[in-house]
Amino acid sequence: MSQTTIKPAAIRKVLTVRATPERAFAIFTAGFDSWWPKTHYIGSSPLKTAVIEPGVGGRWYGLHEDGAENLWGDVLVWDPPARLLLAWRITGEWAYDPNLLTEVEVRFTAIGESETRVDFEHRGLERLGDGDAAERTRLSMDGGWSSILESFQAAAGA
Amino acid sequence: MANAKIFAALADPTRRQVLERLARGPSAVGELAQSLPVSRPAVSQHLKVLKHAGLVTDRPDGARRVYQIDPHGLGQIRAWLDQFWDTALDAFKAAVERHADDTEPPANEDRP
């Protein structure tokens, strides 16, 4: 029984903000630290600063109170003010894995003169279900598809 | 997680076939019945069991009903990320509103 064909749906969010796309893009990126919840980080030391470096290849990371840097991913597409595509390389165990690729896409579309529609998508979540690091995640996830099917196969003696 | 229910649901080979079809994409009962060697009422019955086990979800699409693999299949992590992004994007929106009357783009003074 194939496991790779099972795909969880992408996470999609749509919001409207009171700003031009230029400003919304700038706040999302250059102003990243001004809005990113400080409660959301990986590693053991509290998060001090959250950063998205500008341009393709820019690093997306957290700078911590103990001085450590923890990478989260990197910039794949930098197309201000219309589109930002980030690689989110954090596993289900909240560890950075350079071989894991899930994509976070943010599109900014002007509505009239002073509002922007923000289309957010986090996709490729099925990749959280394969690869080395994800193997352990899979085993640890109660509701994971793969673990269900693997358990079934084991139970069925397949 | 009701594993016993899931095992029971998957114990039937036709039900596993139905599940594998749905893993390729959402599908209506009629479409599934056409591609499987079982009757439409039988497919409906299998889908009912799979739904009860939490393995598939359904939604109306006009007069028919479309079935799909439970989009929460990766379970906890997807649910966590979904909520996580809600929180993060709410905070983003609030930051934009705070900056709404600024004339300059946001500065990088917070950056190291």
Residues of chain B with Cβ-Cβ distance to A143 below 8 Å are 1, 72-76
pLDDT-based confidence at B20, cuts 50/70/90? confident
Q: Considering chain B, what percentage of its residues have pLDDT values greater than 90? A: 23
Long-range contacts of B43-46 (CB under 8 A, 24+ apart): B43/B18, B46/B12, B46/B14, B46/B15, B46/B18
Asked if A23 lies within 8 A of B105 by C-beta distance, the reply is yes
| Beta-sheet strand order (sheet of A47-52) | A11-17, A115-123, A102-111, A83-88, A69-79, A59-64, A47-52
- Give how far B75 is from chain A: nearest CA, Å: 5
pLDDT-based confidence at B21, cuts 50/70/90? confident
Asked if A35 lies within 8 A of B94 by C-beta distance, the reply is yes
- Is this prediction's pTM over 0.90? no
Give the model confidence (pLDDT) of B84-105 as tens digits: 898 899 999 999 998 766 655 5
Q: Considering chain B, what percentage of its residues have pLDDT values greater than 70? A: 67
Closest CA to A133 of A97, A88, A102, A101: A97
Is residue B2 within 8 angstroms of chain A, CB to CB? no
Superfamily of domain A11-124: START domain (3.30.530.20)
Domain boundaries, chain A: 11-124
Taking residues A32-61, report their average pLDDT: 90
The answer to whether the CB of A32 falls within 8 A of the CB of A4 is no
Asked if B111 lies within 8 A of A49 by C-beta distance, the reply is yes
Query: Which residues between 27 and 56 in chain B have a beta carbon less than 8 angstroms from any beta carbon of chain A?
Result: none
Residues of chain B with Cβ-Cβ distance to A7 below 8 Å are 23, 69
Nearest to B106 among A11, A31, A156 (CB): A31
CATH no. for B3-69: 1.10.10.10
Give the model confidence (pLDDT) of A92-119 as tens digits: 667 798 999 999 999 999 998 889 999 9
Taking residues A69-81, report their average pLDDT: 96
**A126: how many CB neighbours lie within 10 A of its CB?**
22
Check residues A41 and A46 and name the one with the higher pLDDT. Answer: A46
Cα-Cα end-to-end distance for chain B:
45
Which range is least confidently modeled, A3-7, A10-14, A24-28?
A3-7
Picking from B3, B78, B103 by the largest number of A CB atoms within 10 A of its own CB, the best residue to mutate is B78
The conformation of residue A45, written as its DSSP 8-state character, comes to S
Which residues sit opposite A96 in a β-bridge?
Answer: A90
| Beta-sheet strand order (sheet of B64-69) | B27-28, B64-69, B56-61
Which range is least confidently modeled, A48-52, A118-122, A140-144, B66-70?
A140-144
Report pLDDT for A115. Answer: 93
d(CA A45, CA A41): 9
Give the model confidence (pLDDT) of B35-67 as tens digits: 888 999 999 999 998 887 667 888 888 888 899
Is residue B12 within 8 angstroms of chain A, CB to CB? no
pLDDT-based confidence at A142, cuts 50/70/90? very low
Taking residues B26-43, report their average pLDDT: 91
pLDDT-based confidence at A7, cuts 50/70/90? low
Cis omega (within 30 of 0) on the bond before A81?
Answer: yes
d(CA A44, CA A40): 12
Report pLDDT for A33. Answer: 93
